[in-house]
Structures are given as structure tokens and as C-alpha cells.
Amino acid sequence: MSRSKQRTQRRGYELWLKKTNPSIYKQYKVNSRERGTTLHETSTENGRKSEADSLEKIQTRMIVSMREKGMSDSEIDRYIAIWVKTLKVWGSKEKPMNWKEATLEYESEKEAHDNNSAE
């Protein structure tokens, strides 16, 4: 059942309850804020888990595919690190980078890390 259908059912139940049993409706509404917060948190957490699982599966398929093509571990790590920078994370206000920006940032970070390691 989609979220909008669930919401519609809840609203319908509230209206029915309000018309038929006003005292029970008042009791129902007392905890509505907490129930709403709980529903929202659950929905958000489920969305994050679902997205993480999906991205993990995609990443696994990418790694397997690149290994089949004969890419080295360092090449795979580089590709995955750049790919991660291009992702739009659900619930995040951060704008994802395009591939060129992500590559440039990865290279500059790697260069800075290499310079710090050499010192």
C-alpha cells in the first residue's frame, strides 16, 4: 500500500471517528503528534535503508563487472570514489557533483594526501 493511500485511510478513519464517537476521537487525537512523528521517522529510516541497500547492490555489480574487465583494485577504488561523489543522497540538501567535478575533486584530494604522506 502506498503512503498516500495509507494517509487517505487514516484521514478517512479520523473523519468517521469524529462523526460517530467524538469522545474516542478526542482520545485518538491526543497522541496524534507522537504517532505522526513515529510514522515519519519509520518512513525516513526505511527510505534510507532501502536506498543504501540499492546503492550497495549497484556498487557490488559495478565492482564485479570491473574485475571481469581486468581492472586493478586501485582503478576500481578510484572509479567507486568518484561515483560516490556523483550520488544524490536521499534526504540530503547537498547537490551531487557531475562526473568531471567529482574527478577533479578526487584527484586534488589524492594529490594533497600524497603530498602529506611524502612529508
- Per-residue pLDDT of 38-92, as tens digits, reads 988 998 899 899 999 999 999 999 999 999 999 999 999 999 999 999 998 877 8
Query: How much of the chain, in percent, has pLDDT values that exceed 90?
Result: 55
How do the domains of the chain map onto residue ranges?
A: 55-118
d(CA 93, CA 18): 39
Can you list the alpha helix ranges (DSSP code H) found in the chain? 3-20, 22-30, 32-68, 73-85, 99-118
Residue 70 backbone zone (phi > 0: left; psi -120 to 50: alpha; other: beta) = left
Instruction: For Cα atoms 67, 68, 71, give the angle at the middle one, nearest 5 degrees.
Output: 45
pLDDT of residue 118: 65
d(C-alpha 37, C-alpha 40), whole Å: 5
